[in-house]
Amino acid sequence: MNVIGNSLVVFFSKILIGAFLFLSQIILARVLGPEGLGAYNLFLAINGMALLLGSLGFGTASIYLLNKEKKNFSQLFSNSIIFGFAWGLSLSFITFLLSILFPAAFNGLSYKYVVIALATIPFVILYNYCLPLLLAKFKIITWSAFSVLYSIFILSLSIVFVLFFGWGIEGAIYAVLMTVLINFILIFFHLLKSYKLIQRFDFPLFLNQLKFGISTYLGDIFSTINFKLNVFVVNIFLGVLNVGYYSVSYNIAALIFVIPYSLQQVLYPAWSSVSEEEVDQKTPRVARQAFLFSLLSAVFLAFIGRLFILFFYGRDFLPSITPFYFILPGGVCAAYAGIFFNNFFAKGKPHVTSLILIASLFLNILFDIILIPKIGVAGAALAASISYFFSAILAVALFWRMTKTSIKEIIFIRFSDITILYGRFSHLFTSVGKILNEISSQDIKGLKEYYEKKADEYDIIKETFESPRLYKKIMYSLRVEKMMAMLELEASDRVLEIGCGEGYYTKKVLQISKNVIATDISERFLRKAKRNTGNMAEGYVCCPAENLPFPDNSFDKVLMSEVIEHLLDWREGAKEIRRVLKPGGIMVISTPNKLSYFNVICHIKILLRNEPHDGDHIKEFSRPELSKLLKDYLLVEKYGYTNYFPLMAPSFLEKFIKFGSAKKFMETTEKILSKIPLIKEQGLVFYIKAKKL
């Protein structure tokens, strides 16, 4: 199994998840303020504590029993659904009793929202019983996709309910409820489609799941247990306003967990299927890597923490800064300890982790009681850090005692620890594409033959602009509108389109100007373009972009949509565009964003298959990179991004969604995303407008 490659998949999906959830928290913080955000996180904590009580390690047990003891997957799935539903209802009732017995813990949250939280609990349990089943089958990409989809729904529904409808805290809570319901339905039917659901409950297997799971369930949620607990403790001592401050400090510090969490999600199913000796041999190196990256992340966050909170959350959240600094060291310790916990799980000794965490939990409560009355919300953060540090010390000590591995081997970081990861990551953007594996880098004839064949194999317009999948139609239509708007066409303009393909853009341009020449390297694509445009263009010319058969200063506008990445020599293409443009003429081009999360995930997917890059791209660009390179030929005037994320829904649901409404929603969402630093540069496609001086 490719542990590093799969870890990268999880790593980048966690970055994406973190970005979406962070954005939703920013929106809610700005709209609801500290007290409203505190109430929202208290609502989330109710579900989180229910999950803490209800997890029972069922997901971890399913992974172990399937890979180590070769149990029947369909029966594990059936047991998880049947027990998960019954146990979820029971937990709702238990939580209801707790809200009556300990009302101070729920202060600041109205009874209505507590009831909604109770209704959500069964589906939270079911979703979290189903999701690990994908890991059990090593469906890392599918698992990541569902995890990302969850965060997309949270963000999208928060925008709709809170910003558009103005429902405030109520809208934020409804967004969570609907997200949980929709995502459980999607993952349930996905598993049902792939694996048969047995209509009976296997009690002996359930006892195995329960026996193994109970000894692990604290470990399954190690990264959140202290936070969920501290939310209630802070609420009891200090009120819901301080819950808002604490949640901000913890959520930013939790960014430390991204890398080690990615490793953990892949390591457990991988390690559970190999010998204990191999697991023990690999653990110290992985733990050192997790510690190194977590430490570097913590140092970076410490430098930017204050500015980060001020810029994104505003001055109202300044009290979050001190607890944020106090919790950072604990995050590093937690990430480091988590690797050893995976070792214990994989060797069938989850009780070791649970004993450590039970001790840590009591230590956290003790220091909460001591520190919160003295130093306020910072006391909760410091208590969490102390308990995480204690967990790491115990984990290292017990691993050393079990394996007799030297302390030096466990703790001291080596240069080789990072070279392997660096090599894998750099490979993502250095491997050549399918085209350059088939033809010479200078073989225009070979490139022409490649696209002649492609023209016969694909109907590109039907697969993109007219796709039966709603999200594809929306994404491509948004690209067209933004490109056409930037081109600023007038009826008198003489236009050159390079790489016209089947003529979709050509047809759009012809609606404004009839003085259009469409070019492509493929004769067959040009024939399709003629049919799709009614042969209305001034000319259809077969030629490579690097050798345009037109006089100097011939065109007012040049349009090149997602072509530059396919050129054998983009520099010659840029020179030719400059040559044929009139002085003051405009070029507008678009190309996939090399550094978008989606592009990176695509490369990782290819890496997992141990294949060379299987796309048609010869050279990929980031927006800053291409802007800088084009300055040698043209003056870059403007740029933008589009397609931040696909608005995906199951095919049967798309039948009930109107294209116009969905597109309008995406347009509004993109306007918001395009104004947020860092996030605005994560569009899947960017476009550039440049002028010939």
Q: Is 427 within the bounds of a domain?
A: no
Distance (Å, whole) CA 340 – CA 398: 9
CB 266 within 8 A of CB 7: yes
Nearest residue to 234 via CA among 315, 333, 327, 312: 327
Q: Are residues 654 and 609 in the same domain?
A: yes
Distance (Å, whole) CA 56 – CA 169: 31
Q: Is 27 within the bounds of a domain?
A: yes
Whole-model pTM over 0.85? no
Give the domain-ending residue among 399, 422, 445: 422
Tokens coding 38: 């505190």
Q: Are residues 535 and 396 in the same domain?
A: no
Q: Are residues 370 and 229 in the same domain?
A: yes
| 3-class state of residue 212 by DSSP | helix
Tokens coding 275: 């010998």
Output the pLDDT for position 222.
47
Distances (CA, A) of 317 to 254, 270, 305, 371: 17, 42, 12, 21
Distance (Å, whole) CA 259 – CA 42: 27
Positive or negative, the Cα torsion across 536, 538, 543, 544? negative
The DSSP code sequence of 228-275 is HHHHHHHHHHH-HHHHHHHHHHHHHHGGGGHHHHHHHHHHHHHHTTS-
| Amino acid at residue number 628 | K
Q: Are residues 677 and 559 in the same domain?
A: yes
Looking up residue 508, the CATH number of its domain turns out to be 3.40.50.150
Q: Are residues 359 and 476 in the same domain?
A: no
CB 280 within 8 A of CB 239: no
Output the pLDDT for position 650.
56
Tokens coding 35: 């007290």
Q: Is 429 within the bounds of a domain?
A: no
Q: Are residues 510 and 653 in the same domain?
A: yes
Give the domain-ending residue among 367, 399, 422: 422
Q: Is 59 within the bounds of a domain?
A: yes
Q: Are residues 449 and 328 in the same domain?
A: no
Q: Strand 555-561 to strand 495-498: parallel, antiparallel, or no bridges (unpaired)?
A: parallel
Q: Is 644 within the bounds of a domain?
A: yes
Residue span of the structural domain in which 439 resides: 434-691
Kindly list the averaged pLDDT for each block of 10 residues, start to end, along the chain of length 693: 52 72 85 89 85 75 72 83 90 90 85 90 90 78 81 90 89 93 90 77 82 60 60 88 88 70 52 71 83 85 87 87 92 86 78 82 90 92 92 92 86 73 60 69 86 87 84 89 93 96 94 95 95 94 95 96 92 95 96 82 57 70 92 93 74 71 85 82 92 92
Q: Is 375 within the bounds of a domain?
A: yes
Q: Is 428 within the bounds of a domain?
A: no
Q: Are residues 418 and 480 in the same domain?
A: no
Check residue 164 and report its DSSP letter: I
Give the domain-ending residue among 366, 391, 422: 422
Q: Are residues 591 and 481 in the same domain?
A: yes
Q: Are residues 568 and 668 in the same domain?
A: yes
The DSSP code sequence of 371-407 is HHHHHTHHHHHHHHHHHHHHHHHHHHHHHHHHH---H
Tokens coding 212: 């193994």
637 φ, ψ (degrees, to nearest 5):
-100, -35
State how many domains the chain has.
2
Side-chain half-sphere CA neighbours of 587 within 13 A: 30
CB atoms within 10 A of CB 78: 21
Task: List, in order, residues 6 or more apart from 401 with CB less than 8 Å away.
Answer: none
| 3-class state of residue 592 by DSSP | strand
Q: Is 584 within the bounds of a domain?
A: yes
Distance (Å, whole) CA 129 – CA 527: 54
Q: Are residues 538 and 504 in the same domain?
A: yes
Q: Are residues 486 and 379 in the same domain?
A: no
Distance (Å, whole) CA 682 – CA 424: 22
